[in-house]
Amino acid sequence: MTRFILKRLALLVPQLILVVVGAFLLLRLLPVDPVTQRVGIFATEEGRAAVKEELGLDASLGSQLGDFLGGIVRLDFGEAWTTGDPVFEEIAQRFPITLQLIILGFMVAIAIAIPVALYVASRPVGKADKGTTVYALFAGAQPDFWWGLFFVYIFFFILGWFPAPLGLLDIHLIPPNGPTKFVLIDSLLDWDIEVFVSVLKHLALPVITLAFVLTGPILKIMRQAAMDVHASDYLLYAQAGGSPRQLRRRIIFRNALAPTLTVTGILFGFALGGAVIIETVFSLQGMGRYSLDRTLSVDFPAIQAAVSVMAAFVLFIYLLLDVMYAVLDPRVRYGEPG
Confidence of residue 87 (pLDDT cuts 50, 70, 90): very high
Confidence of residue 335 (pLDDT cuts 50, 70, 90): low
What confidence score (pLDDT) does residue 35 get? 84
* Residues composing the chain: 338
What confidence score (pLDDT) does residue 303 get? 92
What confidence score (pLDDT) does residue 338 get? 45
Confidence of residue 337 (pLDDT cuts 50, 70, 90): very low
What confidence score (pLDDT) does residue 202 get? 92
Q: Is the pLDDT of residue 310 over 80?
A: yes
Interior/surface letters 167-189, b for 16+ CB within 10 angstroms, e for the rest? ebbbeebebbeeeebbbbbbbbe
Contacts of 309 by beta carbon, 8 Å cutoff, 6+ apart: 91, 95, 287
Annotate 180-196 with three-state secondary structure: CCCHHHHHHHCCCHHHH
Query: Largest Cα–Cα distance of the chain, in whole Å?
Result: 86
Percent of the chain at pLDDT exceeding 70? 96
Q: What is the mean pLDDT of the chain?
A: 85
Residue range 231-249: mean pLDDT, rounded = 80
Quote helix, strand, coil % in the chain, to nearest 5: 75, 0, 25
- 332 with 324: CB under 8 angstroms? no
CA 134 to centroid of chain Cα atoms: 26
Integer angstrom CA distances of residue 135 from 182, 219, 270: 33, 10, 21
Residue range 166-180: mean pLDDT, rounded = 84
Residue range 172-185: mean pLDDT, rounded = 84
Supply the DSSP string of 75-104, one letter for each residue: T---B-TTT-SBHHHHHHHHHHHHHHHHHH
**pTM of the model as a whole:** 0.85
Q: Is the pLDDT of residue 328 over 60?
A: yes
